[in-house]
Amino acid sequence: MRKRKPLDDKQVERWLAGAAEPTSAPSFAATLDAAYAAGPDGSAWSRARRRVEESLNARAPRVYYDRLASTPVGPLWVAMTDLGLAAVSYGGSESAFAGWLGRHLRASPVRSAGRTAVARRELREYLVGRRTAFSLPLDLTHVTAFQRRVLEAARDVPRGQVATYGEIGRRIGRPGAARAVGQALGSNPVPIVVPCHRVLASDGSLRGYSGRGGLQTKRRLLTLEGALLV
């Protein structure tokens, strides 16, 4: 069988316009197959991938974060969205915190000292005793409805006072849900600002704390606030 010659540009134009001879189609198909098989070079792939990433990043919501390097409870990571404070984290690496933000908030993490300045200042002032309350709005859109109710109830516990897990359950209309309340507080995304440290076991013991330092940090925060502990 005689090998067909590849179509030139003029033949391609005629074929696309429907004016080429039917016998030209196989040769044109072979030309396309060869072009697809060859593919673009590496630099073209890189440029295309970069344009796609830039386009996706431009459309994704942003979450801004930065580090509070030194506090009485150690370094903290802080994150803000356009709605408010979304995360406070005790230490850890920047990559781990940024990765958590991306997964849980489904947003593109951007480090920004400016966008987190108020949150970092209020946390620093609170932890050294120069502030008694936070003015920060909260972004709790990424937690479940149940956890949001638990966090809001914990936030209503006054400074210098404590509540039990069972009491929080009753306040949200879920008596007997002390264990679920404890789990919800254990994954509190904004500790200190939402004072999960003010919630104790039914016997008055500290029970637990997921932040760095565990019970020692919980006790330190309660002492700072003037809570009377047994």
Structure tokens at 104: 């849980």
The pLDDT-based confidence of 52 (bands split at 50, 70, 90) is low
Query: By the 8 A CB rule, do 225 and 160 touch?
Result: yes
Structure tokens at 69: 């390097």
Query: By the 8 A CB rule, do 86 and 190 touch?
Result: yes
Does residue 8 register a pLDDT over 70?
no
Query: By the 8 A CB rule, do 208 and 214 touch?
Result: yes
Q: How high does pLDDT run on average in the chain?
A: 85
For 115, half-sphere exposure in the C-beta direction (CA atoms, 13 angstrom radius) is 18
Which tens digit of pLDDT belongs to each residue from 70-123?
Answer: 999 999 999 999 999 999 999 899 999 999 999 999 999 999 999 999 999 999
> Where in the chain is CATH 3.30.160.70?
60-142
**CATH annotation of 60-142:** 3.30.160.70
Which is the catalytic residue, given 196, 199, 221, 227? 196
Taking the C-alpha atoms of residue 221 and residue 203, their distance in angstroms, rounded to an integer, is: 19
Which tens digit of pLDDT belongs to each residue from 164-217?
Answer: 999 999 999 999 999 999 999 999 999 999 999 999 999 889 988 988 889 999
Closest CA relative to residue 126, chosen from 214, 194, 207: 194
> Where in the chain is CATH 1.10.10.10?
143-230
For the question of residue 213 being annotated catalytic, the response is: no
CATH architecture type of domain 143-230: Orthogonal Bundle (1.10)
Structure tokens at 149: 């109710």
Task: Determine if the pTM surpasses 0.75.
Answer: no
